[in-house]
């Protein structure tokens, strides 16, 4: 949000708005005239209803269904686009939705090379989990920072800021790492397995992950994220 340059009476789109708290802060901070938050989760959007009003509204829609032609001053997305494939085509479509001089501000996690992610991917390829998921493999769509920079240039953005940021999270113990990824990465596997099999997956995952994580208290969990901003 700090990368965004405020303009008078901005029209804003927040892709993957979740429960809407951040969307409200964004709307109020920018003093936007109109802000629309999109999310595919009905449960999330149910919590956003109390924030709607004064130019702020929410809709249930898949980000992949979003299409627009030169309507928005800002397209904003915090920790949502990594769930979508083909970021080159995705950013091309988002660029088309911006007015001349419009801004794009995005944050995506980039921790796919950490043991939390690597161990899960390897385990998912093994029996019986692979069969239960019908051979599904999670393909990481997030590009390298320099690839985003080159892509933004090709798409014609006049200005850009791209960076990789490491956020250090101090957890009570390494068990906290598992609690962290249970609500993010591992949901992708959980929804594809019966509950009893996912419980086995989690037990095996814990054992293999802890072989690679230091048993320290507190435990320092470094998490990488890519932040990029660009203006047409």
- Best CATH choice for the domain 1-109 from the list 3.40.50.970, 3.40.50.1820, 3.40.50.150, 3.50.50.60: 3.40.50.150
Across residues 116-137, what is the average pLDDT? 96
Give dist(CA 183, CA 185) in Å, integer. 7
The sign one gets for the Cα dihedral 210, 214, 220, 225 is negative
Across residues 168-188, what is the average pLDDT? 95
Q: What is the pLDDT of residue 2?
A: 95
Question: 49 CB contacts (<8 Å, ≥6 apart)?
Answer: 58
Give the length of the chain: 232
Count of CB atoms within 10 A of residue 149's CB? Answer: 18
User: Among 41-50, 67-76, 103-112, 123-132, which stretch is predicted with the lowest mean pLDDT?
Assistant: 41-50
Q: What angle do CA 211, 188, 42 make, to 5 degrees?
A: 140
Task: Return phi, psi of residue 172, to 5°.
Answer: -60, -40
- Average pLDDT over the chain reads 96
Which pair of tokens denotes residue 1? 């949000």
Q: By percentage, how much of the chain surpasses pLDDT 70?
A: 100
Q: What is the pLDDT of residue 144?
A: 97
- pLDDT of 65 > 90? The answer is no
């Amino acid at each position: 949000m700090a990368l965004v340059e405020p303009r008078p009476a901005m029209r804003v789109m927040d892709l993957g708005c979740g429960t809407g708290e951040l969307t409200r802060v964004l709307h109020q901070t920018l003093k936007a005239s109109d802000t629309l938050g999109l999310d595919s989760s009905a449960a999330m959007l149910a919590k956003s209803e109390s924030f709607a009003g004064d130019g702020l509204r929410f809709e249930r829609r898949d980000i992949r269904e979003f299409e627009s032609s030169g309507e928005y001053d800002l397209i904003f997305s915090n920790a949502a686009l990594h769930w979508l494939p083909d970021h080159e085509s995705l950013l091309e479509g988002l660029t088309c939705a911006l007015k001349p001089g419009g801004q794009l501000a995005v944050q995506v996690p980039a921790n796919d090379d950490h043991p939390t992610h690597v161990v899960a991917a390897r385990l998912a390829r093994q029996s019986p989990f692979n069969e239960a998921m019908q051979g599904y493999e999670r393909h990481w769509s997030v590009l390298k920072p320099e690839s985003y920079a080159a892509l933004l240039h090709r798409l014609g953005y006049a200005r850009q800021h791209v960076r990789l940021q490491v956020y250090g999270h101090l957890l009570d113990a390494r068990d906290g790492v598992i609690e962290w990824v249970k609500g993010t990465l591992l949901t992708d596997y959980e929804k594809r397995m019966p509950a009893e099999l996912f419980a086995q997956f989690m037990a095996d995952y814990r054992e293999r992950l802890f072989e690679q994580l230091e048993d320290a208290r507190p435990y320092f969990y470094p998490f990488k994220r890519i932040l990029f901003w660009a203006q047409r």
